[in-house]
Amino acid sequence: PREVRLVSRPVGWPEPSDFALADTEPVELADGQVRVRNLVMSVDPYMRGRMSAAKSYAAPYELGEAMTGGAVGEVVESRADAVPVGAHVLHGLGWREEAVVDASAVRVVDTDAAPVSAYLGVLGMTGLTAYAGLTRVAGMKPGDVVFVSGAAGAVGSVVGQVAKALGASRVIGSAGSQEKVDHLVTDLGFDAAFNYKDGKVSDLLREAAPDGIDVYFDNVGGEHLEAAVGSLRLGGRIAVCGMISVYNDTEPAPGPRNLARLIQTRGRIEGFLVGDHGDLADEYAQQAAGWLADGSLTSRETFVDGIDHAVEAFLGVLKGANTGKMLVRL
């Protein structure tokens, strides 16, 4: 089996040469461990941060070692009674075709209830991120006007649909192509959407939300954040989930120039990490099951095939090659 290792720390945009595909030596199982043949693995924007040496909320990847990340696979050998051969499990040792992992560090998933890929997307970490950020951090209420950036991505597409399901009066999304904009309005029920490459984000947002916004779910940062502050209504809330527009910057980007508007609007900006909101997981799983069943929540996935294309898939996420959750089928 093969795995993907980080071999040099990217400065600016990562290059394929920062990674190496390597064969692994066979490993014997210890008591309590399982061997998992990975079926699907996640590539996520946060992984860019872990490729740098700088301390952050997730530890840096070690040079010369396989990277880690979410994956779902099938147990092919087990020395743990609770997790038998044939079980499908969610775990943290992606970026490899085969994982040897403690049974205590896996979660058995129900493949009758949903396809394995869903546990890495709409029913997984990205879905919960959307729900926690929207309901708890931004405190979305029925009647709110909600704006989300990165709206055609994994988190953003759930944010927009959940906002509608929870009674938002108007949901606006931004994305990086006309095709994605059409998908938001036609397939996902957004009230309005725009391609942020078509002009100044502040102009495009004002056009899409002439009366302003109550909630901004930020996946992008930069010009989007300044535009959202500029359109914020009285008591508006901004949940900062991600700032993908700056992840490959080598110099800190300038911040929004209009933060004084927070005074007149009594506005609030708050960052969050999904890991702090695990207590919402059961509530979200129940809600999401209902919304998936009645069609108010649908999920698109973009698949790349083969571990030898995993780096390409990761670079693709940073550049917008995905609609919905980007996944690698192994």
Q: What are phi and psi of 96, to 5 degrees?
A: -150, 155
Q: How many other C-beta atoms lie within 10 A of the C-beta of residue 51? A: 19
Interface size with ligand NDP, residues (CB under 6 A): 30
Among 18, 44, 214, 226, binds ligand NDP (CB under 6 A): 44
Binding mask 225-264 for ligand NDP (x = CB under 6 A): ----------------xx-xx-------------------
Q: Which residue has the tokens 């951090």?
A: 137
Binding mask 6-35 for ligand NDP (x = CB under 6 A): ------------------------------
Q: Is the dihedral of CA 109, 115, 120, 122 positive or negative?
A: negative
- Cβ contact 15:106 at 8 Å: no
Q: At what angle do helices 201-208 and 223-231 cross, to 10 degrees?
A: 40
Tokens of 314: 């990761």
Binding mask 158-197 for ligand NDP (x = CB under 6 A): -----------------xxx--x---------------x-
Stretch that binds ligand NDP, among 7-15, 44-52, 249-257, 280-288 (CB under 6 A): 44-52
Q: Bridge partners of 5? A: 20, 66
Does 150 engage in binding with ligand NDP (CB under 6 A)? Answer: yes
- Cβ contact 309:287 at 8 Å: no
Binding mask 117-146 for ligand NDP (x = CB under 6 A): ---------x--x-----------------
Q: Of 68 and 78, which CB lies nearer to ligand NDP in the complex structure? A: 68
- Cβ contact 27:66 at 8 Å: no
Rounded to a whole number of angstroms, the minimum distance from the CB of residue 22 to ligand NDP is: 26
Stretch that binds ligand NDP, among 14-22, 41-49, 103-111, 205-213 (CB under 6 A): 41-49
Q: Bridge partners of 173? A: 148, 193
Q: Is the dihedral of CA 168, 319, 97, 79 positive or negative?
A: negative
- Cβ contact 85:77 at 8 Å: yes
State the residues that interact with ligand NDP by CB under 6 A. 44-46, 126, 129, 150, 152-156, 175-177, 180, 196, 219-220, 241-242, 244-245, 272-274, 317-318, 320, 322, 326
